[in-house]
Structure 1
Amino acid sequence: MSAKRPPPDPIAVLRGHRSSVMDACFHPSRPLLFTGATDGELRVWDTVQHRTLYSTWAHSGAAGVYSVATSPSLGDTVVSQGRDGICKCWVIEEGGLSRNPLITFRTSAYHFCKLSLVKILSCIMETHQNSCQELLPEKAEAGLNFDQHESVNVACKEKSVQVSSLPTYGPRMMATAGEKAEVELWHLNEGKRIMCFPHSSNSGCTGNSAKQKGLCMAVQAFVPPKSHGFLNILSGYEDGSMLLWDARNPGNPLCSVKHHSEAVLSLTVDAFCNGGISASADNKIIIYTLDYQTGSSSVKKEITLNRAGISGTSVRADCKIAATAGWDHRIRIYNYRKGSALAVLKYHSASCNAVSFSADCKLMVSCSEDATSALWELYPPSA
C-alpha cells in the first residue's frame, strides 16, 4: 500500500442491516463479528464465510444499538448498549445468542458516549487466569472477579505469584457516561453502579471542574502497567478536553489536557496502556502518551485533516497500526508508532461510525450509516 498503489478494496461487505450500523467488534477468540444498528438489531456474523449467523432485536427501535463490546475477560459474553441508557449482557451459544439477556440494567448514558469495558494488559490477564485455573478452578469457572479473590491472594503467595499484579477492579466492569459530566463505573455481573468520577461526595473538590467541560462524550477504562492493579479512566468532553482518573482518588483527576477544539467523539488506549489515539468533531487526530508516575498526558503526534469529524478510533493489538472512521466516508490508516499516514480507504457511501481490529490483528471492520460493514485485510502481522 505504498503511494504508487491504490488503496485496497474490502475482502467482504456485510449487508443485512436495514439502518445505520453504529458499532462493531470481533470476538476475542472465535471467528465472529458483532454489529449493532440504529433500529435495535444486533447481528452475529461468521468472519470466514461472511454470512449472518444470528440476528435479534436487542433494543427498541427508538433506542437502537449504539455500542457493542466484547473482551477476553468476558469470554462468551457480549454487551450491547442502547441510547435509552439500557445495557444488556448476552451469552454466545451454538445457535447464536441467548434468547434472553443474562442481565439488563439502566445507566445514565442517554447520549452519544459508547461504553468501555476494562482494558487489561495481556500479561496481567494471563497471570490472573493461570493462577485461578491452577489454584482455584471451581472459582475460575464461576467467573471470579478480581475484587473478590482473597483466597486467590493466599494461594498466589504459596505459588510465589505477585499478588500486586492482580487488578483491584476486575475485568467484569464497564465505564459509561453519567449524568451531566460524570463518568460511571458499573459491575456487569450485578448491574450495579460502583463508582462515579468525580465522586459526588466530594462537592468541594477540583474534580467538579469537569462540569464546566460539558457532557462526557468518550470514555476508556483500563488497568495501566505498574499501577498495582488500580483502575484508571480516561474521559473526553464536549469542550475538547480529556481527564485522566485514578480509582483511588475519584474526586480529583490526575490530569486535565485539551488537545481538541471541539467535542471529543472517540478515544482509545492501546493494548500496552501507555498511550492512545483521540479524535473529535474538529480536524485533528491526536496520538498521545500516558505517564502514570507523573500523572500526565502529552501529545506524541498531531495529525491535521482536510475535513473535520472523526467518529471512531482503534489501535491494533500489536500497537503498530491505528485507524479512524470519518464523517467524510473515509477510513484512515496510520503507523501508530510514527503517526505517519499509510492509506485512505474509500468504500462507504455515508459517514463511518466505527472501526475495530480483530484480536489476532488479521482483520479490520468498518461500519457506516450506509447500513453496511466492511471487512479489510491490512498489513497482516508477520508470522
Structure 2
Amino acid sequence: MARPPPDPVFTLRGSAASVNTLHFHCAEAGLPLLYSGTGKGLVHVWNLNTRRAESILDGHSGASVIWVSTVRSTNTFLSHGRDMRVCLWDLHEGRSTVAHSLHTGSVGFCQCCLLEADGSKTLLALPAENMEEIKVMELASRTLTCSLIPDDKHGMLMCMKMWQTDAGPLLCAGYEDGSLVIWDVSYRRPVSCLKVHPEPAMCLDFDVGKQKGISGSSDNILCSWMLDGQQNLQIQDSVPLTNPGVAHLCVRGDGKIVAAAGWDGSVRIFSWKRLKPLAVLQHHKDLVHSVAFSDHLEPSKRLMAAGSKDQRISLWSIYTES
C-alpha cells in the first residue's frame, strides 16, 4: 500500500492576507529565510527557527505583491506589486528601505523573472504596459536591454522564465491563448512557438539541465515539453488533474520532483522524470497561489513551502532522500 501523504512540518500564520508568492533565501548555515508577498502589499521575512516574521516590508502602498526574489551576488531583495512597480530594497545591517523602484506599467498578473548567471550581468524581465510585451533590463544599471513583442497575436502575457545558455539568455513566455514562445534575448527574436494549452498558460518552470519545462493552465492538464538541439518546442508528456486550475509550478533544484499549486487548495507532487503522481497534499482551505523549494545543501533539510489565499504558509519535508 502507498503511504498516506504527510502533514506539514509546521504552518506560518500572521500574514493577515492572501499569500501570493514565496521565495527561500539560503544565505547562511541553518534554516533559510522565507520571503512572502501578500494581497495587502506587505512582504514578510520569516525566520524559520522562531517561526515568526522577523521583519515586515511595506513598499507597495497596499497593492498586492505578486513576486519576490533575491539577487545572490549582491544580497539585493526585489518585490513586484500590482502598483505597477518593482521595488529594489536595501536590507543590509537591518535596514528596510526601498533603494530604487522600476515602473512596469503592467496591470496584469504576470510575475517578473530574474536571471543571475555566473560572470554575466543580472537581467530582470518584467511585463510592460503593452499586455503582450516583455521588457528585459540590466539590473545594476537599471537600463533597458531589449523589448520582446510577438509578431503573432497570442493575447496577454501570463507567465515567463529566463535561463542562461552557452549562446546567451533564453526566455520562455506563456500567453493568454495557451501558446508558449521561446525568445532569444540577445537577438530579440522568437526561436520557437507552440500552442500547448487550450486555455491561458497560467504558470511554467524550466529545468536547464534536462532542457525540459512544464506548464499549467486553467484547464485540468499539466504538460511537460522539451527543447531540441535547434531550440524547438516539443510536447513530451501530459497528466490529467482531478480538478482544473494550476496557479504555480516549481521544479526542485535536484530535478527529482515538481510541485503544482492548485486552485482547489491542494499541492500535487509529481516525479519530474515521468510526471508520475506521488502525493496530494491537502492542508489549505482555499486556492494555493505559490510553491517554493529551499535549495539547502543537505537533502534532509530541504523544505517546500506553499502559500494560500487562506492566509497561511505550510512548510513540508517531502522526498528528501538524495
- TM bucket (normalised to shorter chain) is over 0.9
* Cα displacement (A) at 1:299: 1.8
- Residues 186-230 of structure 1: CA deviation (Å, up to 9, x unaligned): 2222333221113xxxxxxxx411xx1101000111113xx23x1
Which residue of the partner structure matches residue 166 of structure 1?
none
* Cα displacement (A) at 1:94: 4.6
* Cα displacement (A) at 1:29: 2.6
- Residues 91-116 of structure 1: CA deviation (Å, up to 9, x unaligned): 33353xx3312211101332110111
Alignment counterpart, residue 352 of structure 1, candidates 281, 288, 292: 288
Give RMSD over aligned pairs. Answer: 1.6
Compared CA separation, residues 102 and 271, structure 1 to 2 (3 A): farther
1:116 aligns with 2:59: no
Compared CA separation, residues 330 and 67, structure 1 to 2 (3 A): same
For structure 1, the 5+ residue unaligned runs are: 129-145, 147-169, 199-206
Which residue of the partner structure matches residue 176 of structure 1?
126
Which residue of the partner structure matches residue 106 of structure 1?
103
State the one-letter code of the partner of 2:23. Answer: C
Alignment of 1:156-305 (within 5 A): 170=121, 172-178=122-128, 179-198=130-149, 207-209=150-152, 212-224=153-165, 227-228=166-167, 230-250=168-188, 252-272=189-209, 274-291=211-228, 293-305=229-241
* Cα displacement (A) at 1:50: 1.6
1:84 aligns with 2:83: yes
Alignment of 1:127-138 (within 5 A): 128=119
Partner Cα distance (1:43, 1:94) in 2: 17
* Cα displacement (A) at 1:48: 2.6
Alignment of 1:354-369 (within 5 A): 354-360=290-296, 362-369=302-309
For structure 2, the 5+ residue unaligned runs are: none
Partner Cα distance (1:25, 1:84) in 2: 20
Partner Cα distance (2:221, 2:132) in 1: 23
Q: What secondary structure does 2:98 align onto?
A: coil
TM score, norm. by length of structure 2? 0.93
TM score, norm. by length of structure 1? 0.78
1:176·1:184 contact (CA, 8 Å) conserved in 2?
Answer: yes
Which residue of the partner structure matches residue 267 of structure 2?
331
* Cα displacement (A) at 1:182: 1.2
Greater fraction strand: 2
Which residue of the partner structure matches residue 69 of structure 1?
69
Partner Cα distance (2:39, 2:231) in 1: 38
How many equivalent residue pairs? 314
Partner Cα distance (1:194, 1:352) in 2: 34
Which residue of the partner structure matches residue 316 of structure 1?
252
Q: What secondary structure does 2:57 align onto?
A: strand
- Residues 133-184 of structure 1: CA deviation (Å, up to 9, x unaligned): xxxxxxxxxxxxx2xxxxxxxxxxxxxxxxxxxxxxx2x2111222121111
Alignment counterpart, residue 15 of structure 1, candidates 7, 13, 16: 13
Which residue of the partner structure matches residue 5 of structure 1?
3
Compared CA separation, residues 71 and 323, structure 1 to 2 (3 A): farther
Which residue of the partner structure matches residue 54 of structure 1?
55
Partner Cα distance (2:248, 2:281) in 1: 14
1:90·1:102 contact (CA, 8 Å) conserved in 2?
Answer: yes
* Cα displacement (A) at 1:356: 0.7
* Cα displacement (A) at 1:379: 0.8
2:91·2:97 contact (CA, 8 Å) conserved in 1?
Answer: no
Q: Which one has a bigger Cα radius of gyration?
A: 1
1:264·1:281 contact (CA, 8 Å) conserved in 2?
Answer: yes
Compared CA separation, residues 307 and 182, structure 1 to 2 (3 A): same
Which residue of the partner structure matches residue 201 of structure 1?
none
1:119·1:221 contact (CA, 8 Å) conserved in 2?
Answer: no
Compared CA separation, residues 193 and 373, structure 1 to 2 (3 A): same
Partner Cα distance (1:68, 1:213) in 2: 26
2:205·2:213 contact (CA, 8 Å) conserved in 1?
Answer: yes
Q: What secondary structure does 2:65 align onto?
A: coil
2:19·2:311 contact (CA, 8 Å) conserved in 1?
Answer: yes
2:116·2:123 contact (CA, 8 Å) conserved in 1?
Answer: no
Compared CA separation, residues 119 and 255, structure 1 to 2 (3 A): farther
Greater fraction helix: 1
State the one-letter code of the partner of 2:89. Answer: W
Tell me whether 357-366 or 18-27 shows the greater mean CA deviation: 357-366
* Cα displacement (A) at 1:275: 1.5
2:163·2:208 contact (CA, 8 Å) conserved in 1?
Answer: no
2:248·2:261 contact (CA, 8 Å) conserved in 1?
Answer: yes
Partner Cα distance (1:79, 1:18) in 2: 21
**How high is the sequence identity, in percent, across the aligned residues?**
31
1:217·1:263 contact (CA, 8 Å) conserved in 2?
Answer: yes
State the one-letter code of the partner of 1:11. Answer: V
